[in-house]
Chains A and B, each alone.
Chain A
Amino acid sequence: MLKGKILVVGGGIAGLTAADRLGRAGLEVVLVEKSSANGGRVAGLHRYYPRLCPPRCGLEILVNNISGLSNVDMRLQTELTGVQKNSPGIWTVTLRNTKQEADEYQLKVDGIILATGAQLYDASLIKEYGYGSLPAVITSMEFESLFRPDGPTGGRPVHPVTGKPLKRVAFIQCAGSRDKNHLPYCSGYCCAVTLKQIEYLHQSCGDIGTWVFYKDIRTPGSKEEYYRHVREEYRPVFIRGLPSSVEYEGGKLIVRAEDTLSGKKVKGDFDLVVLAAGMVPPVLPVIDGLEKDRYGFFPGHTPCDPTELRRSGIWAAGCAQQPMDVEDSVRSALSAVAQCLVKLHQQPSAYPEVNKKKCDHCGRCAKECPYGACILGPDGYPEVYPGDCRSCGICQGGCPLMCINLPGQGIKKIEDVVDRVLSGGVPQPSVLLFLCSNDAYPAWEKLTGQGGNIEGLEGVVPIPVPCIGSVNMSWINEALIGGLDGVMLAGCHPDQCHHGGGTSLAGTRLQNLRETLGRMRIEPERIYSTGITIDDTERLLGEIRRFGDLLVKMGPSPFK
């Protein structure tokens, strides 16, 4: 039986789905929800698209399943206030009862799924649409409540203030989204939501006019069919133009826009204006080293692994990843669950070992580890949790004393090459070529065949490394002082490094090394670094040749 304890943060559709599946897989699950009820945003919806089925159905199944699982501990009114990693592979989380301020306690868990959802954008910030100051300007979420028996109109879709039947309703898309003054990104879910709302408005009100003000309708995949269905079946008026203002005159809401397709100004009066408001990232306690995107979401390593965050053992699910609809939230929760199970199940990959005799506890390895797999233990020595390590070797690249190394990597390899150079076994110019095994090394192999070399440049000694960030500067130093003519590093392009900062870390370290070498009368030009993608074989060849030519021109190493 699989063992492990997972914290799921958020009791919305993503969190419930994750807790249910993890629970069924036999893991111990703690599900925390800040509010007093489960269901999150979904609990406030009238219907799902495209089937127009009630959300309660799926929610109840999930909640019933979870209540039947003794290994899932559902804690309502509980908030996550802190996350720390004090021992390898174990997160210490701080939880707080939202009813009793002082009631704070800690738990140790093996993994965390952040399913915190997103907040809705405050539509009153879009001044020109008058939300919050004009009557009957509402958000799409409030529109949902007009259909709910527990809503302000008792489930009758009528004017929320006067209670009269609705005759003309305007939907304004991109309310806050795709706008540099508000949210620069597309919230992704609002187009289909509006189509859905048009459908049930027409179904329940019969004689009604619906207008949609939009700039693009974004209904990717099968949602396009739904878009076509709504257009054809209910024939709403689509105005391709965002309104510049909503005003209140004589009991009506006046919407002014330009229909950009005809180039004409349009003005319409409506009983109700629905703003398709966007989503804002969740508010979370600071988790050291967990990178957000520029907006505050956790999209992961796109496109190769959207579940992979910069802290191993933490996954984001649902709208915490990026704005998304229910279908995508469920899908994202399931993928977070899958990755969580993989992590608890997998054979650990190669991970670095620490030479405690040499280590002086500087903590650089722990600081630079892109996954938080390496931490300083209670004795002050670095500890690497194998399950979290991605074997990138960035720790070994940064260690000033070379005391943390991946198996098979290390200064020994370099010393061997130096010995060969000194014994005359390497033709000139002798070049140590470090190649990132993700991209540059396969390109090199394509170029030279297995174990081959470049004609006229037989002195190039290739050394594959897991990431260019794993190259320790002392190796380069050793090679140059040992008499090699040059060192070349072929990594990935800085923004393409799978481990995030590998290439840029190597760049910074090289800069420092060049300065040191300059003081030792070694020309800094003897070190060359470049970014190579897997299909860059010709460029790699060209760069190696150019570097070889330069070294020939510079003459042999002064240390030879």
Chain B
Amino acid sequence: MNCNADITDLRETDILDGVTVRAAALCEQCGKCGAVCPALFKKPNPTSLIRLVQLGRVAEALQAPLLWSCIGCEQCNAVCPNKLDAVRVVRSLRRLSASEKDVCFPKYIMDFYLGGLL
């Protein structure tokens, strides 16, 4: 993880759609979504995934394990005091990840799907 990313450089968010960026901007990091999320997440959890988007660190967000372990149950959306659509943020990031040529699923996701096929 690149810890030296310049947090003032927010241009990276331009590759996400406006609705997603605005939704992420609403988040005040209260952590209610992180507390309900049933996905067996490692960091970043929904709260910090949205934080990465707020900081424009989209490349880092694309590497987050949660991106692929989210099951879209929308419990996060249900408890959010700002009524923001966190699942939409996840979906947009997934779409972005899939549209990039060098899309690289985390190894455990690959293992899971390939294992399922065999």
Do A241 and B44 have beta carbons less than 8 Å apart? no
Do A259 and B79 have beta carbons less than 8 Å apart? no
Residue interface bits B26-38, CB-to-A below 8 A is 1, else 0: 0011111111100
Residues on B with C-beta less than 8 A from A198 are none
Do A244 and B32 have beta carbons less than 8 Å apart? yes
Q: A128-B79, A258-B45 are in contact. Are A215 and B36 (CB under 8 A)?
A: no
Residues on B with C-beta less than 8 A from A259 are 31
The verdict on A498 contacting chain B, using a C-beta distance below 8 Å, is no
Residue interface bits A146-181, CB-to-B below 8 A is 1, else 0: 000000000000000000000000000010001111
Return the chain B residue nearest A179 by Cβ: B81
What are 11 contact pairs spanning A and B, CB under 8 A? A182-B81, A215-B28, A216-B28, A240-B29, A241-B32, A244-B33, A244-B36, A245-B35, A257-B31, A258-B31, A259-B31
Q: How large is the interface on B (under 10, 10 to 19, 20 to 34, 35 or more residues)?
A: 10 to 19
> Separation in Å of the B17 CB from the closest CB of chain A?
22
Do B48 and A263 have beta carbons less than 8 Å apart? yes
Residue interface bits A515-545, CB-to-B below 8 A is 1, else 0: 0000000000000000000000000000000
Residues on B with C-beta less than 8 A from A265 are 34-35, 45
Do B81 and A180 have beta carbons less than 8 Å apart? yes
Do A263 and B44 have beta carbons less than 8 Å apart? yes
Residue interface bits B2-38, CB-to-A below 8 A is 1, else 0: 0000000000000000000000000011111111100
Residues on B with C-beta less than 8 A from A242 are 30-32, 35, 81
Q: A258-B47, A263-B43, A263-B47 are in contact. Are A241 and B35 (CB under 8 A)?
A: yes
Apart from A179-B81, A258-B32: 8 A-B pairs, beta carbons within 8 A: A174-B30, A180-B82, A182-B81, A241-B35, A244-B33, A258-B33, A260-B29, A263-B34
Interface residues of B in 78-92 (CB under 8 A from A): 79, 81-83
Return the chain B residue nearest A177 by Cβ: B81
A-B contact count (CB 8 A): 65
Residue interface bits A427-451, CB-to-B below 8 A is 1, else 0: 0000000000000000000000000
Residues on B with C-beta less than 8 A from A180 are 81-83
Q: A215-B28, A263-B43 are in contact. Are A241 and B34 (CB under 8 A)?
A: yes
Residues on A with C-beta less than 8 A from B35 are 241-245, 256-258, 265
Residues on B with C-beta less than 8 A from A257 are 31-32, 35
> Separation in Å of the A123 CB from the closest CB of chain B?
15
Do A260 and B34 have beta carbons less than 8 Å apart? yes
Residues on A with C-beta less than 8 A from B29 are 215, 240, 260
Do B81 and A258 have beta carbons less than 8 Å apart? no
Do B81 and A181 have beta carbons less than 8 Å apart? yes
Residues on B with C-beta less than 8 A from A179 are 81
Q: How many A residues, CB 8 Å from partner?
A: 22
Give chain A's interface secondary structure class.
loop
The 9 A-B residue pairs with the shortest CB-CB distance, nearest first, are A241-B31, A258-B34, A244-B35, A179-B81, A258-B31, A215-B30, A260-B31, A244-B36, A258-B35
B34, B81, B82, most chain A CB atoms within 10 A: B81
Cα–Cα distance between A240 and B29 once the two chains are bound (Å): 9
B35, B48, B83, most chain A CB atoms within 10 A: B35
Return the chain B residue nearest A182 by Cβ: B81
Residues on B with C-beta less than 8 A from A245 are 35-36
Cα–Cα distance between A502 and B47 once the two chains are bound (Å): 45
Residues on A with C-beta less than 8 A from B36 are 244-245
> Separation in Å of the A70 CB from the closest CB of chain B?
51
> Separation in Å of the B35 CB from the closest CB of chain A?
4
> Separation in Å of the B57 CB from the closest CB of chain A?
15
Residues on B with C-beta less than 8 A from A128 are 79
Return the chain A residue nearest B83 by Cβ: A180
Cα–Cα distance between A480 and B43 once the two chains are bound (Å): 71
Cα–Cα distance between A161 and B82 once the two chains are bound (Å): 35
B32, B34, B79, B83, most chain A CB atoms within 10 A: B32
> Separation in Å of the A398 CB from the closest CB of chain B?
40
Cα–Cα distance between A205 and B48 once the two chains are bound (Å): 37
A128, A178, A263, A265, most chain B CB atoms within 10 A: A263
Cα–Cα distance between A263 and B31 once the two chains are bound (Å): 9
Residue interface bits B41-60, CB-to-A below 8 A is 1, else 0: 00111011000000000000
